Amino acid sequence: MAFLCRKIFTAMLIYKDKPMNQIVSITRNQHIHLPLNEMNESNTAAKRTATAKRLANTKNMDYQEWLEVRKQGIGSSDAATACGLNPYMSMLELWMIKTGRVQQQLEDENKGVAPLYWGKQMEPLVAEFYSLHTNNKVRRVNAVLQHPDPDKSFMLANLDYSVVGSDDVQILECKTAGERGAKLWRDGVPLYVLCQVQHQLAVTGKQAAHVCVLICGHETKIFKVTRSESVIEHIVKAERYFWECVETDTPPSVDASESAAKAILQLYPAHVPLTVEDLSQNENANLMFDQLIKMKEEIQHKQECFDQLKHQIQMMMKEAERATFSRGSVVWKKAKDSIGLDTKALIKHQPELIELYPLEKQGSRRFNIYTD
């Protein structure tokens, strides 16, 4: 699977290296212009006539019902994850969701930080802005679509909007990006969004899509994504592998992400006492263990070097709060004093409190390395 991920990543980079696909960048008080600077892959394939199947009507469907329908396949917003290109979710976490081991986390809108909620609220405004500045009419697609080829029936798509009456583009994907996500859009459409849109084009048989993104609430960019048969071919292969993992209940490849770490602990939360998995005859496992030991030693060495340099700079700073250098600066200041509760002393004097106010803390598995 790692090989497939690299193939998709390479194909995406080749695709992005073509003349950039931004149509229009609009900020407040900025004049609007529409130079059609597109990414056109030479594509000799005939225009597709196959129509995607309507798997489910979503007009009156609540969010939980929609999530259940999505379990029947790989949706367009799942595509990058299934291909190992999503910076926010690992393949293993998505596999846990698709196999019903965990429920997809719904945002708590009362917390005030809910990007999915605000993205959904802003979506009609982004679409309205797009129509106003491109003269393209758009229409909601209230359905979960399915690839018409039975061999690719696991490929689903839930489009934001279809573009009506345009020979040039047929799909509109609306996005919002905050401060964290804005940097991903500096060089064009992020890889995970390109993967999502190419998946939509694969399912629907359409030729091109527009991506309209609202960045930090005040800047709007519109990009054109043209169908790429080479990218779609790699996406289909990767998604097929992932869906086979779902159908056979086999965990997919893992990566280095925090999402994968969380999913592993959810999948295997506790050990069986006194059990041993003997990997001493597994050549690949022994190679990984040797690499693990080597990397641990390298990390320890680099940490020691880092700490020594930090200490030397601190000695040069003395009482100064900030030190500046030709390429940046460091800040070294004391945190504010605070008063906390000495719970150990409190429980010692009033042991009955632990029975009145118990707080259970679940233990988690620790990964320790031992060498002979």
Q: Decide: residue 322, CB within 10 A, 0-12 exposed, 13-18 middle, 19+ buried.
A: exposed
Name the residue with tokens 């700490």: 307
Model confidence at 29: pLDDT above 90: no
Q: Rounded to whole angstroms, what are the CA distances from 169 to 7, 14, 274?
A: 27, 22, 61
Model confidence at 81: pLDDT above 60: yes
Q: Which fold has domain 2-263?
A: Lambda Exonuclease; Chain A (3.90.320)
Residue 74 per-residue DSSP state? B
Residue 28 is predicted with a pLDDT of 38
The domain segmentation of the chain, as residue ranges, is 2-263, 279-332
Model confidence band, residue 120 (pLDDT cutoffs 50, 70, 90): confident
Model confidence at 203: pLDDT above 70: yes
Higher pLDDT: 132 or 180? It is: 132
Angstrom distance (rounded) from CA 247 to CA 249: 6
Q: Whole-prediction pTM value?
A: 0.80
Residue 30 is predicted with a pLDDT of 36
Check: CB of residue 53 under 8 Å from CB of residue 145: yes
Task: Please compute the mean of the pLDDT values over residues 92-116 and round it to a whole number.
Answer: 77
Model confidence band, residue 90 (pLDDT cutoffs 50, 70, 90): very high
Residue 2 is predicted with a pLDDT of 59
Check: CB of residue 152 under 8 Å from CB of residue 146: no
The tokens of 261 are what? 């770490």
Q: Rounded to whole angstroms, what are the CA distances from 223 to 20, 154, 164?
A: 9, 28, 17
Mean pLDDT of the chain: 87
Residue 372 is predicted with a pLDDT of 82
Check: CB of residue 224 under 8 Å from CB of residue 39: yes
Residue 339 is predicted with a pLDDT of 95
Other C-beta atoms within 10 Å of 315: how many?
A: 8
Residue 362 is predicted with a pLDDT of 87
Task: Please compute the mean of the pLDDT values over residues 163-182 and round it to a whole number.
Answer: 94
Model confidence at 272: pLDDT above 50: yes
Model confidence at 243: pLDDT above 70: yes
Model confidence over 296-347: pLDDT tens digits?
Answer: 999 999 999 999 999 999 999 999 999 999 999 999 999 999 999 999 999 9
The pLDDT > 90 percentage for the chain reads 73
Model confidence over 30-45: pLDDT tens digits?
Answer: 333 333 334 444 344 4
CA angle 170, 176, 180 (to 5 degrees): 140
Model confidence band, residue 185 (pLDDT cutoffs 50, 70, 90): very high
Closest to 157 measured CA to CA, from 238, 239, 223, 91: 239
Other C-beta atoms within 10 Å of 9: how many?
A: 16
Angstrom distance (rounded) from CA 325 to CA 311: 16
